[in-house]
Structure 1
Amino acid sequence: MLKVIKDKIKNKNGMVFIEFLVGFLVFIFIFSFFFDLFQIGSKKFVMTQQASQIVRQLAKQSGIQSQVPLNYPGGGGSYLTSSQLIKVTEDKFKKIGVKPEDWSIEIILRDKAQANGERVISLSDTSNIKADYRDSIGIRFTYSYNWGLWSQLVPGDFNKTTNVDKYAFCEYKHDYSNWKGEED
């Protein structure tokens, strides 16, 4: 094989073949990198968009519960339960090829008793998380991804995790009997 390559190098026709081969390999590397980058970027975009929608809904509802709270304005038509939220997110991610075990949602509430000032609760079908009017609420969306084509060409560990944190202020007052107003 080495003799054939040496002969092709001496012969100018063989040099064109080698240049073509090197150029083709460079093209494959660049194509695989940008293909994976585009896929990861589009999934990250969908994840960020979904995180914004979720935190907005949680802020409107002042948390999330497994059942629609009594006297919630609009009733079940305007309230998203924890199981509905997980189902909507699963469906959206299934459309772009993300498995349910590759992502998780955590609810972040402000809590002065905690060392870092926040309490983090993992979202599940039975989550009952309440916040009150003007409280800070947030989500941490964690997503695991991998480089598909690029990892086949370049050695190394290409399984990574990314987080999206979004915050909002709650808009719904659960109990008006202890209403303080907005002066404080």
Structure 2
Amino acid sequence: MKRALTAALAILLLAGTPAFAEGESPVSEAITFVVSTGFWEEPAETDGDAATATSETTATKKPVPRRGYYKLIAVRQKDGTAQIHLQQIEATADGPKIVSSTVLEEFSALKPYVTDIRPENSSGVTAQPGLFATVHLKTDPKATEPESWTVLIDDIGEIKIERATN
């Protein structure tokens, strides 16, 4: 009986796990750094038929605002330089959902060798909406010290990328 239970449990666990061929991974080997940080929030969309809703449905179905976070991703190119991708991720009941994804051309123009990406803080909690992260990079792979660049997204979604000043 114990063997049958163990076998059944193993089958259930394996059935819920995606299978990957040998040497295959759900994450690309070209990704060198990923930082999830900051947050965004959009007000809930209101239904145009709100005037016809009954008080019972209004009490049980309150509009829910859309919320999520940002991700900065460094992807290594064939020439060793990196592209920096910015993603806006929505936190949904079904799990994370990509709302937007773009390559930050300001970095592409530099042809950077990314050495690190750091969030404003590592606690995962920020007081205000937006994003603040620092990308450490070299434009010459033989340089001894990397340059620091900041990526800032303010509370209304405006993106600003500039060389960090200390």
Q: TM-score, normalised by structure 1?
A: 0.20
If asked which structure has higher relative contact order (CA below 8 Å, sep 6+), I would say: 1
The structure with the largest helix share of the pair is 1
Structure having the larger proportion of residues in strand: 2
* Higher alpha-carbon Rg: 1
TM-score relative to the length of structure 2: 0.22
